[in-house]
Amino acid sequence: MRIEVSYRDGFPDGRAGRILAKLKHAGIEGVEQLALHDVYLSVGYSDPGDDVLREVFCDTVAQQLWVQRSADQRRPSAGAAPTDINAAHPNAAEFNAVIEVAYKPGVTDPVGMTARDALDRAGVARLDPSAFVQSARQYRIRLAAGTPAQQQAAVAATAAALHNPLIERATVIAPLRDPAADLAPPALPLQYRHTIAASPAGVETFDLAAMTDDELNRLSRERLLSLEPAEMAALRAYYADPATIDARRRAGLPPQCTDVELEMLAQTWSEHCKHKIFQALIEYHDDDAPTSRAPELIDGLFKTYIKRTTESVATGRDDLKSVFHDNAGVVVFDDQTFVCFKAETHNSPSALDPYGGAITGIVGVNRDILGTGKGARPIFNTNVLCFGELDTRDEEIPQGLMHPRRVLDGVHHGIVDGGNQSGIPTVAGAVLFDDSYVGKPLVFCGTGGLLPSHINGEESWIKHTEPGHLAVMVGGRIGKDGIHGATFSSLALDEASPVSAVQIGDPITQRNMTDFLLEARDRGLYAGITDNGAGGLSSSLGEMAQYSGGVRIDLDRCPLKYPGLAPWEVLVSESQERMSLSVEPDKVDELIALAASRNVEATVVGEFTASGAVELRFGDKSVGRLDLAFLHDGLPQMRLRARWRTPRSAAPAGADAGVGPAPALDPARPP
């Protein structure tokens, strides 16, 4: 069933006006008028009738509904005389082309998910247990008079500007009626293809111990591991170690590395997760220093200039409760309240899909607050955004990337939607424009939150993960979206950048999960919590296992959006709106029951242990085992060279010849 919603005459749609203005600003000529219809494709539900559909999908004062119930329907639902399907739409005579944009298979559809939930809450019966709703945006445009070629070019340019081909597909019908024959054009579909190709079954192995340097580096490139030669060499040494081979034999594993292990190592060792550049050993040369002075060795910018400074300031203070130990810092606000704050970047995804990248960034940092201590409540968002100059010429944009103006529009929209739709206001922000951000924007998202000082008799910044606790995943299901997001963030962007690295956040699902978790926190139903951020379960459960001393993850028990994910994809997928908990066994039934009553999915996916390893299973088979010490501490330290050159500024045009260079910056400061 196809449901379309549009504004009535006399109720202007501000969205359509803004889009038309953007088209004109982008230099797209020939579009005189534009109307935007919201489309919902209901598949597997019974027909509740127009009154229920209006109640679910419409603002009945300002909007009107049009329903197509079968493929051969040629009339509006109100029962007007038979006509072609396009003329059946409200105000169809005003437009002569249609562009409809929908998500590609496998891409998260937050609006469709919310619509499905609305139908369920309205009591609409499911004819199929896997019933779903797809959303789409339909643009009806009126073209200026001109030659068919001019009009065709205008439609093509409009379609290109109104969708992101990385994650969306556009269906174009133009003209709406064949001028040479009185025939209706093809109707738009009642359902878009939404299934995605299944990954190859089974677990692949790699004999890293026998690979040459060239073979290791090729494997890193081909699988998008983003690991440096020294890091791949460390993996080779680990799998060649007799102790590793013996432990694997006892676990029922071959000596070779499995794809599940390889992907977990790449995620854990990614720049996004380990901040390798900030941790690097830097040989620092100062061109202004005496030649006799030896280069300075900086053992990590973070450790030397950030952590050390913070620790020195913190000496003797009791208002800093948690610094560098959790998803966000925790400080005392007053006797009853702690506050926490977290900020992080989401640059690469925002370059590929500005809206999806930004909304995922903001809801992700919201989850960092929710995963701090026993669980804090996010109360505000902030941001700093850096883009290329808005007057950048099209030919200066790297192949496969978007113009800074389009990136700006999408990022701003994503940040606003990500916060406002889940009830978290954006209270501050800043924007910078510079040519250096044309290739990749900087999208800095921040969130602040509140914690009661004590929860169930213990300070709220303390959490527990102990052997015997059950590993529970709550929130959204796992899909292919967001696979390799962590490793991909270490790479430069180009036309080959992967579709799977882009995620779409769903603020409504996250809000439901947030409310449930805060209620469960106050009832003491879980002991530890963290975010499923970059790397999904690999990241969250791998980090929590450091507290208990080990974890077993049952990958076949994880809830999926659709079948066909390989075990390694289940482990590292970054699909959004998920948190991981450590739960005492005698409380898990109450936790799962509370989650179900709040329309949140909660699933036991493993158990924390004291084995000293991450043990990965699929069905009754072991598919991976990694020593915790190697996983978290085996990464070779990156080595870099840095050189300080005092900047020299040329004299301004027309200045006296005697004017010298600008004063040098402090040469003692690091680059």
Q: Are 429 and 382 in contact (CB under 8 A)?
A: yes
Residue type, 388: G
Relative orientation angle of helices 110-121 and 507-522, to the nearest 10 degrees: 60
Q: Choose, from 37, 89, 194, 346, the residue flagged as catalytic.
A: 346
Three-state DSSP state, 448: strand
Q: How far apart are CA 530 and CA 548, in angstroms?
A: 14
Report the C-alpha dihedral over residues 662, 668, 670, 671, rounded to 10 degrees. Answer: 20
Query: Exposed, middle or buried by CB within 10 Å (0-12, 13-18, 19+), for 159?
Result: buried
Is 484 a known active-site residue? no
**Cα gap 602→324, rounded to integer Å:** 29
Strands 602-608, 621-627: parallel, antiparallel or unpaired by DSSP? Answer: unpaired
Q: How far apart are CA 499 and CA 197, in angstroms?
A: 14
**Sequence letter at residue 422:** S
Q: 232 in helix, strand or coil?
A: helix
Is 272 one of the catalytic residues?
A: yes
Q: How many CB atoms lie within 10 A of CB 489?
A: 19
* Pairwise CA distance, residues 381 & 390, whole Å: 25
The whole-angstrom separation of Cα 426 and Cα 389 is 24
Catalytic residue among 272, 403, 469, 484: 272
CA distances from 471 to 338, 482, 491, 507, 518 (A): 27, 22, 32, 24, 18
User: 226: which strand partners?
Assistant: none
- For residue 615, give every residue at least 6 positions away whose Cβ sits within 8 Å of its Cβ, in sequence order, or none: 251, 550, 551, 552, 553, 609, 622, 624, 625
The residue among 207, 263, 260 whose CA lies nearest residue 236 is 207
- What is the rounded distance in angstroms from the CA atom of residue 4 to the CA atom of residue 102? 13
Q: Determine which helix (DSSP H) or strand (DSSP E) holds 621, and give its type and residue range.
A: strand 621-627
Q: CA separation (Å) from 631 to 64, 123, 277?
A: 57, 48, 18
- Which residues participate in catalysis according to the annotation? 272, 346
